Amino acid sequence: MLWVKAFHIVFVASWFAGLFYLPRIFVNLAMVAPGSVAERERLVLMARKLLRFTTMLAVPAVALGLWLWLGYGIGRGPGNGWLHAKLAVVLLVIGYHHACAVLLRKLVAETSRRSHVWFRWFNEVPVLLLLVAVVLVVVKPF
Assess contact for 55 and 27: CB atoms under 8 A: no
Assess contact for 5 and 68: CB atoms under 8 A: yes
Is 8 labeled as ligand-binding? yes
DSSP conformation letters of 71-137: IS-TT-STT-HHHHHHHHHHHHHHHHHHHHHHHHHHHHHT-----HHHHHHHTTHHHHHHHHHHHHH
Closest Cα partner for 126 from 95, 85, 105, 104? 95
Is 86 labeled as ligand-binding? yes
Residues annotated within the binding site for heme are 8, 86
Residues annotated within the binding site are 8, 86
